[in-house]
Amino acid sequence: MHSSDEDTLLEFPCTFPIKAMGPADPDFVLHVLALVREHVPDVPDDAVTTNSSRRGTYVSVTVTVTATSKAQLDAVYRSLHADDQVVMTL
């Protein structure tokens, strides 16, 4: 699959929210942040928001990054999808 910035409507650099859902565990939030920082190292701690599911079983973690390319975003999503703790990404 070819991934170039011309294949997207986004203009880089841009602010982009990355959302991952998984178990409602404080370590999950830190885990998602660590996975994102592998590809976007300068993400500040305050760029993370969370929202618990109705029953409190799951948590959604949104990390807002400054993306520099489609390839960078693709790499973040590949890491999240490959992780066993991540149930879903948006």
**This prediction's pTM:** 0.88
Is the separation of the CB atoms in 61 and 22 below 8 Å?
A: yes
pLDDT in tens, 13-69: 999 999 999 999 989 999 999 999 999 999 999 999 999 999 999 999 999 999 999
Residue 3 binned pLDDT confidence (cut-offs 50, 70, 90): very low
User: How deeply is 62 buried, as exposed, middle or buried, from its count of CB atoms within 10 A (0-12, 13-18, 19+)?
Assistant: middle
